[in-house]
């Protein structure tokens, strides 16, 4: 396998029965200041991240590994050996824990218009207010409907948050561990927005049950304009333990 430069071979660093796969990179590109500049270059960043991911996925296809994030730099091989020696028990335990598991992502999407419509139709307070508004004189009805709209917006936000919590609890029953990731600002292709972003550690023999639960939950909440989308398997970045790099 070649390294992140695309042509030099990967290096193996063996320490206490643990192997680190490393790639030599020039400080002119990966030194602290240079890396800070280069990550602003989307072309450079995309190329290097793709190479990094290709290496991780190829290695994961052969052996269990703990992937390190792109841009993790050590100035010399001995520093890597020090980190392995200091964290060997943690590394071994993590490799054992992940040996029969995969990371899957789950995103929750909400069609805000659909959810708002469902709230207006199903919330008993709003249904009652709507009925009362229809009996009001035109002038009063306008202000009454405005209050209904304000209440509907508030209840839609509440329902959006509660469905996200319900989805997490429903998924939790079919996975080993769930990590809630930072919310995404990006929206899907149409009128939905992302309200949930999870990383799930799933047993390999339980992936079928996990995916079935995701699909079932989406069907149950389709009328509210809420759905879940699973993707994977991915390298287990979200379940790598924090390492002690001091010393």
Residues linked to residue 240 through DSSP beta bridges, in sequence order: none
- Which two three-digit tokens encode residue 132? 């009362």
Work out the angle between the directed axes of helices 112-122 and 124-134 (0-180°, nearest 10): 80
**Ranges of H-type helices in the chain:** 27-30, 32-38, 42-60, 77-97, 112-122, 124-134, 138-172, 207-220
Q: Is the pLDDT of residue 207 over 80?
A: yes
At residue 22 the predicted structure's pLDDT band, cuts being 50, 70 and 90, is very high
Residue 155 token pair:
């209840």
Nearest in space to 129 (alpha carbons), one of 114, 109, 150, 144: 144
For 230, the enclosing helix (H) or strand (E) is strand 226-234
What residue has token string 């296809």?
Answer: 61
- Range among 101-110, 132-141, 154-163, 238-247 rated most confident: 101-110
Provide the percentage of residues in the chain whose pLDDT is more than 70. 82
DSSP 8-state code for residue 242 = P
Residue 139: C-alpha distances to residues 51, 143, 149 (Å) = 65, 7, 16
Per-residue confidence (pLDDT) for residue 121, from 0 to 100: 67
- Average pLDDT over the chain reads 85
Average pLDDT over residues 75-97: 94
pLDDT of residue 114: 78
Residues in the chain: 247
Examine residue 233 and say whether the peptide bond preceding it is cis (omega within 30 degrees of 0).
Answer: yes
pLDDT tens digit string along 124-173?
655 555 555 455 555 555 555 666 666 667 777 888 888 889 999 999 99
User: 101-237: what fold?
Assistant: Alpha-Beta Plaits (3.30.70)
What is the band of 104 on the pLDDT scale with cuts at 50, 70, 90?
very high
The string of pLDDT tens digits covering residues 209-225 is 999 999 999 999 988 88
- The answer on pLDDT for 2 being more than 60 is yes
B/e letters for 162-171, b = 16+ CB within 10 Å, e = fewer, are ebbeebbebb
CA 116 from centre of chain: 26
The confidence score (pLDDT) of residue 178 equals 95
How far, CA to CA in Å, does 3 sit from each of 49, 52, 136, 201, 233? 12, 8, 73, 28, 23
Between 55 and 5, the higher pLDDT residue = 55
Angle 215-187-67 from CA coordinates, rounded to 5°:
70
The C-alpha atoms of residue 10 and residue 2 are separated, in whole angstroms, by 5
Q: What is the average per-residue pLDDT within 76-104?
A: 94
Write the pLDDT tens digit of every residue in 112-122: 777 777 766 66
Q: How far apart are CA 151 and CA 161, in angstroms?
A: 16
Q: pLDDT at position 11, please?
A: 92
Domain regions of the chain by residue span: 11-99, 101-237
């Amino acid at each position: 396998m070649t390294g992140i430069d695309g042509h030099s071979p990967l290096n193996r660093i063996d320490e206490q029965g643990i192997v680190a796969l490393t790639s030599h990179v020039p400080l002119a590109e990966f030194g602290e200041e240079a890396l800070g500049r280069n990550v602003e270059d989307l072309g450079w960043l995309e190329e290097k991240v793709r190479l990094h991911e290709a290496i991780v996925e190829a290695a994961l296809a052969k052996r269990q590994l703990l992937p390190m994030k792109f841009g993790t730099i050590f100035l010399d091989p001995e520093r890597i050996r020090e980190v392995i020696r200091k964290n060997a028990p943690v590394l071994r335990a993590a490799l054992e824990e992940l040996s029969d598991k995969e990371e899957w992502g789950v995103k929750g999407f909400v069609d805000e218009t659909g959810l708002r419509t469902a709230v207006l139709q199903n919330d008993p307070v709003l249904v009652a207010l709507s009925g009362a508004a229809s009996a009001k004189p035109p002038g009063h009805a306008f202000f009454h409907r405005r209050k209904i709209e304000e209440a509907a917006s508030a209840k839609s936000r509440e329902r959006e948050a509660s469905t996200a919590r319900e989805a997490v609890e429903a998924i939790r029953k079919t996975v080993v561990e769930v990590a809630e990731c930072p919310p995404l600002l990006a929206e899907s292709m149409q009128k939905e927005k992302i309200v949930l972003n999870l990383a799930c550690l799933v047993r390999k023999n339980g992936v079928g049950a996990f995916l079935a639960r995701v699909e079932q939950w989406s069907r149950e909440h389709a009328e509210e304009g809420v759905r879940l989308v699973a993707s994977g398997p991915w390298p287990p970045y979200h379940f790598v333990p924090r390492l002690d790099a001091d010393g």
